[in-house]
């Protein structure tokens, strides 16, 4: 028969066994046991009658604990201070490195900078002929580097999906709603809206804003603008309408279903159209999409429809963000 040694409790093997069994509390003695403001609190029961005999001992233990936590707090405060100083030094060092690098960079706007090479030269010289867009920037982002732009619109898409996941309240299934039913009381309770000044102003401004937005989107290939900026203007117009006239009237023409349909069809069209163009381009086939006369509204091949798609996606994303960050869904 094996015999348990007297010092088994303190032996290495006992400790190892406790560790294997997951019994050791690794945070024992490290954690502040008495809570944040706990040093002033007396131990519960320390003044009770049952503890009369142990009171002195308990007091002693308490005092020791207090001294320990006090020491730990002091060292923690010291750590915090050193941490802050180090963080500031580190930030200054990084700033210094970047400034020093900037000194060594080519001067801003220099004519013989490395960035002024054959790449922008071709964009400027033959951009109009090759893409049909008078606005080089649009030609660049929607034709030369259209894959990146498709990625960017997918960034918007995935961001709005995340926000929807986080903030959309689905009746019956949402865990948050089950725990806090009061969240259902959303901003619709403050309707109907009757802010006459806002409504009059909105009625005057809205057509202008929307038409201007549509103009920016449609003229993306002719003048500064395009899907991203025009979509932002359209989205802000929708938000203004919502603020002035309330959810009930907005829902007549824009619900979550509309949102989903618009986003889906715009992105699908973008994806299919660009896939076609990538495929034909890579396989050296003629795409067969006419470029039209540069300067006309119906020109530059796929750029105009793609601008419209991007504009719709941006508009929907902006509106969705606004409604989801308020109380109550879209």
Report the residue from 45, 48, 57, 106 that binds another protein according to the rule CB under 8 A.
106
Helix axes 303-325, 196-218, angle to 10 degrees: 150
Q: Nearer to another protein by C-beta: 150 or 241?
A: 150
Of 318, 303, 159, the closest CA to residue 236 belongs to: 318
Measured from the CB atom, the residue of 237 and 329 that comes closer to another protein is 329
- CA dist 170 and 187 (Å) reads 16
By CB under 8 A, residue 95 contacts another protein: no
State in angstroms the smallest separation of the CB of 263 from another protein.
7
Select the residue interacting with another protein from 56, 111, 282, 298 (CB under 8 A): 282
Q: Which of 2, 36, 49, 283 binds another protein (CB under 8 A)?
A: 283
Q: In this complex, which beta carbon is closest to another protein, that of residue 32 or of residue 152? A: 152
State how far Cα 146 lies from the chain centre: 23
Is residue 262 involved in binding another protein (CB under 8 A)? Answer: no
Question: Can residue 276 be called a binding residue for another protein (CB under 8 A)?
Answer: no
Stretch that binds another protein, among 51-59, 76-84, 277-285, 292-300 (CB under 8 A): 277-285
Instruction: Print burial letters for 266-297: b (CB count within 10 Å at least 16), e (below 16).
Output: bbebbeebbeebeeeeeeeeeeeeebeebeee
What phi-psi label fits residue 109: left (phi over 0), alpha (psi between -120 and 50 degrees) or beta? left
Q: Distances in Å between the alpha carbon of 62 and those of 34, 37, 70, 193? A: 10, 14, 12, 62
Report CA-CA distances (Å) from 137 to 108, 133, 143, 149: 20, 9, 10, 12
Q: How far is the CB of 194 from another protein (least distance, A)?
A: 34
Residue 12 in contact with another protein, rule: CB under 8 A: no
DSSP string over 251-300 = TTT--HHHHHHHHHHHHHHHHHHHHHHHHHHHTT---------TTSSS-S
Contact flag: residue 143 with another protein (CB under 8 A): yes
Using rule CB under 8 A, residue 168 touches another protein: yes
Q: How far apart are CA 183 and CA 40, in angstroms?
A: 39
For residue 26, state whether it binds another protein (rule: CB under 8 A).
yes
Of 20 and 50, which CB lies nearer to another protein in the complex structure?
20
Is residue 100 close enough to count as binding another protein by CB under 8 A?
yes
In terms of CB distance, is 6 or 104 closer to another protein? 104
Site for another protein in 284-313 (CB under 8 A): 284, 287
Q: Which parts of this chain interact with another protein (CB under 8 A)?
A: 19-23, 26, 97-98, 100-101, 104-106, 113-119, 122-123, 130, 143-148, 150-152, 154-155, 157-159, 161-162, 164-166, 168, 170, 173-176, 260-261, 263-264, 267-268, 271, 275, 277-284, 287
């Amino acid at each position: 028969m094996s015999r348990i040694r007297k010092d088994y409790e303190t032996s290495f093997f006992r400790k190892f066994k406790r560790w294997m069994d997951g019994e050791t509390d690794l945070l024992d003695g490290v954690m502040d046991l008495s809570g944040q403001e706990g040093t002033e609190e007396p131990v519960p029961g320390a003044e009770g009658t049952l503890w009369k005999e142990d009171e002195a001992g308990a007091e002693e233990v308490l005092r020791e604990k207090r001294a320990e936590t006090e020491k730990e707090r002091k060292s923690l405060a010291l750590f915090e201070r050193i941490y802050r100083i180090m963080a500031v030094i580190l930030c200054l060092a990084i700033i210094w490195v970047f400034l020093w690098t900037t000194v060594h960079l080519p001067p801003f706007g220099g004519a013989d900078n490395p960035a002024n090479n054959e790449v922008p030269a071709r964009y400027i010289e033959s951009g109009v002929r090759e893409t049909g867009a008078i606005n080089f920037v649009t030609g660049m982002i929607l034709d030369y580097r259209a894959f990146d732009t498709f990625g960017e619109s997918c960034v918007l898409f995935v961001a709005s999906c995340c926000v929807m996941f986080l903030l959309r309240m689905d009746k019956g299934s949402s865990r948050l709603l089950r725990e806090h039913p009061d969240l259902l009381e959303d901003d619709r309770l403050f309707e109907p809206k009757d802010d006459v000044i806002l409504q009059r102003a909105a009625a005057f401004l809205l057509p202008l804003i929307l038409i201007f937005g549509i103009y920016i989107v449609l003229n993306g290939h002719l003048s500064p603008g395009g899907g991203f900026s025009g979509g932002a203007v359209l989205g802000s117009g929708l938000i203004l309408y919502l603020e002035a006239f309330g959810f009930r009237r907005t829902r007549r023409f824009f619900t979550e279903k509309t949102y989903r349909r618009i986003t889906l069809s715009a992105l699908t069209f973008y994806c299919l159209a660009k896939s076609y163009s990538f495929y034909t381009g890579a396989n050296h086939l003629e795409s067969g999409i006419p470029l039209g006369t540069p300067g006309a509204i119906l020109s530059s091949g796929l750029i105009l429809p793609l601008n419209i798609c991007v504009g719709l996606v941006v508009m929907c994303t902006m509106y969705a963000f606004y409604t989801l960050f308020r109380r109550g869904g879209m």
